[in-house]
Chains A and B, each alone.
Chain A
């Protein structure tokens, strides 16, 4: 277990470092430096102002110094400064991140529940028609753009039926609908993977043994099959954190909620490169940590994983 832990944590740190390096290199590939891009985006600015701002943000230093300075900053929790406001990235988002985290977090949990409910209903129902409908629901939802689903629901609920206000007013519906819209879209790949691995589990002999023992269908599903089939779905849940972030930004825009979405949109439209860079690193770190947690939960669910660790990498192809 200790080796598995060390391996996974080391891998996570490596990935964050590589992500940082790649983003840094990508910024170097820009036609000019971030300050010049930002200041000359809409109007002509004299060179002196550009130089002053460049030295304030450290863009006048040699590349290696910039790289190390920013790396030390990220390691100590400083993700850089916004060019527009001069605030640090964390300060810039601290006021609004809460509502995004609440939206994304609830949608994450609801999406997991939705996937389990759909798969449970599809597996346990005795109606062939219902099963067909349920089985085809996740592939359909996977093709639905989240902003379109939000707009159609907004049209129906607030304009046609008038049960919900167009703008967030703190009512239960105005909190629940965005969460449900985001969760529905995020749950689609989860349900697809869970359904697939559930089918594989139901082909295994131990299910027949349980049936022969007289276990009820729901007992077999919830006590035995679900735990066996949950592994791949758990991995996909870790990966959906990225989709969740994109979905949150879009959902917030559709439902006029305040949150990270508006920060992201402003940063992109004003070409505030350091702010976008900081947001990317922050999100990538969250993503890596969530996936690390998933990896560490995995052996609890399936102890076999510890034994099959360290499969050989492919050797070179030669005659």
Chain B
């Protein structure tokens, strides 16, 4: 998964990431920054998908578990947007109800990555040379063991299921959060206002919590969006292999895995849930790019 966040591909990159923030006073205020149509264009569909996870029953009249056996393998039409499966269950309903399971597992993974990564990155950037090289070697190791394998170890040890899956993928994403937090904190900590807050009598903790972390949060927020997308991809992949939630739980990867048996008779069972995954991940990546642009100091 891409751990680098990209400037809008295509447009030449003109900002120079490491420049001193001499322009900081001229940067727009928080509210003006959010007045950005492209930001909302990506955020709105994502809000709909989030609503699927919270109140799935608002979006569909069918049950995700009970089908009408006589109406099985219906191709997509006005009644069944995504068609029906072998038990006559509405596939769109299964996708909508599956959002919760997928997003909960992905959310668990991202929270683990964010919290552990922030702590490691912060220690690396502020606690001196020894702590920095120790933390960065730890990050190297986490990067050297592919995330897929970390998830496999956890899933093997604690038997397959959404929680071990989320923990495994979360551990795998600690490294990228630690790197981004470290580089952002390094950038912020040498700015004049940090020195000023120490002169004002700030302690290490108060300066880090009240001044450094908030100013370093833009790229972390962007990574959060991108990483959520990466986690959804990883979860659907491992769910497809059967390491996630057990059937008949609707879960995006599992839906595709179940549809695989009917590849010849019902293309919609595999294709359409996949389209939803692709759209979600594309939107999250776009949101990450927009956030990076919006919150750049």
Contact = CB atoms under 8 A, between A and B. Distances in A.
A317 interface: yes
Contacts of A26: 153, 157
A314 B129 contact: yes
Interface string B3-45: 1101101111110000000000000000000000000000000
Interface string A12-26: 001110110011001
B14 A250 contact: no
Contacts of B241: 249-250, 253, 265
Interface string B128-160: 110111000110110111111110110111111
A282 to B, nearest CB: 10
A145 B270 contact: no
A245 B146 CA distance: 8
B95 interface: no
Interface residues of B, number: 72
The B interface, classified by DSSP as helix, strand, loop or mixed, is helix
Interface residues of A, number: 76
B233 A143 contact: yes
A319 B206 CA distance: 12
The A interface, classified by DSSP as helix, strand, loop or mixed, is helix
Interface in B251-297: 253, 256, 260, 263-264, 267, 270-271, 274, 277-278, 281-282, 285-286
Contact of B126 (A30, A143, A148, A316): A316
A268 to B, nearest CB: 5
Contacts, number: 211
Contacts of A317: 125-127, 189, 204, 207-208
Given A139-B6, A268-B156, A284 B149 contact: yes
A199 interface: yes
A47 interface: no
B274 A145 contact: yes
A245 B285 contact: no
Contacts of B263: 151, 154-155, 159
B132 A192 contact: no
Interface string A39-60: 0000000000000000000000
B157 A27 contact: yes
Interface of A: 11, 14-16, 18-19, 22-23, 26-27, 30, 37, 122, 131-132, 135-136, 138-140, 142-148, 151-152, 154-155, 159, 188-189, 192-193, 195-196, 199-200, 202-203, 236, 239, 241-243, 245-246, 249-250, 253, 264-265, 267-269, 271-273, 276-277, 279-280, 283-284, 287-288, 291, 313-319
Interface of B: 1-4, 6-7, 9-14, 124-129, 131-133, 137-138, 140-141, 143-150, 152-153, 155-160, 186, 189, 198-199, 202, 204, 207-208, 229, 233, 236-237, 240-243, 253, 256, 260, 263-264, 267, 270-271, 274, 277-278, 281-282, 285-286
